[in-house]
Amino acid sequence: MSLNTAAATLRVGKSVLLQPTSLTLKGGEITAICGPNGAGKTSLLRLLSADVRPSSGGVSLNGRELSQWRAQDRAQTLAVLPQHSSLNFAFAVEDVVALGRSPHASGRQRDQQIVSAALAAVDSGHLRGRCYTDLSGGEQQRVHLARVLAQIWQPSAHGERYLLLDEPTASLDLAHQALLLDVVKGFAAEGVGVCLVVHDLNLAARCADRLLLMRAGEVVASGPPAEVLTVAAVKAVFDVDVQLLAHPQSGAPLVIQNESDKKLR
């Protein structure tokens, strides 16, 4: 059981957004995708989420081509938090989170229990009755995270579940970034395959079982963070000079940009 791309590419007109890419996401594992702007990270996530079809190659979910899945079955198995979630209606927070239960027929009472649990998981239970449009950017981000968690809260009848997150920490403060990592690790411990796109290499190194470095639409390096995060690889992908240390608590790679190199290129 896996969510994977097989030599998948994505082109728009003459522009190649993604070179042939093969990636396998497994239940219970956390994969982080990092790279500079325009590296192809979101394009890869869009293929994995069935937002777009590959120009060539294939994408499969639990052994079946992604394009062959019924939308409802796929939604019970695969949840996606895009980089930008547009919602301009004055919904109550609990109603926004309840949208994640739309693919299911678990009953109003059970859905309400899951909505409450998902909000609590992201430290947003106190927002339940608030109007979504009155929230700060970080609060809105946590509400949408609760929504996608509610979507795959229970095991799926269609195989392993997967959670795809595109820049989930972008609007979060440090405390809620740490909380997000705990939530992601908790879902992975329950057998959910997690893939998140992040810019922060240190955050990725702290939580990921596998790290992909991307540049110009292709995967430059892939593997455990301790193997992928080298001075040479970071230089090749981001064109910055760094030092690598071991995190004093976890031992994970700690990337420190050289002071002389902290400038826009």
Of 3.90.110.10, 3.40.50.300, 3.40.718.10, 3.30.830.10, the CATH number of 1-77+158-227 is 3.40.50.300
Q: Tens of pLDDT along 210-236?
A: 999 999 999 999 999 999 999 999 999
Q: Tens of pLDDT along 80-138?
A: 999 877 777 889 999 999 999 999 988 999 999 999 999 999 999 999 999 999 999 99
Distance between CA atoms of residues 164 and 181, nearest Å: 14
What residues contact residue 116 under an 8 Å CB cut-off, 6+ apart? 125, 128
pLDDT computed for residue 262 by the predictor: 54
Cα–Cα nearest to 208, from 159, 146, 165, 173: 165
Distance between CA atoms of residues 122 and 93, nearest Å: 13
Distance between CA atoms of residues 39 and 137, nearest Å: 25
Q: Tens of pLDDT along 230-258?
A: 999 999 999 999 898 888 877 788 888 88
Place of tokens 């009755």: 129
Q: Which two tokens stand for residue 140?
A: 């809105």
Q: Where are the domains of the chain?
A: 1-77+158-227, 86-155
pLDDT computed for residue 258 by the predictor: 84
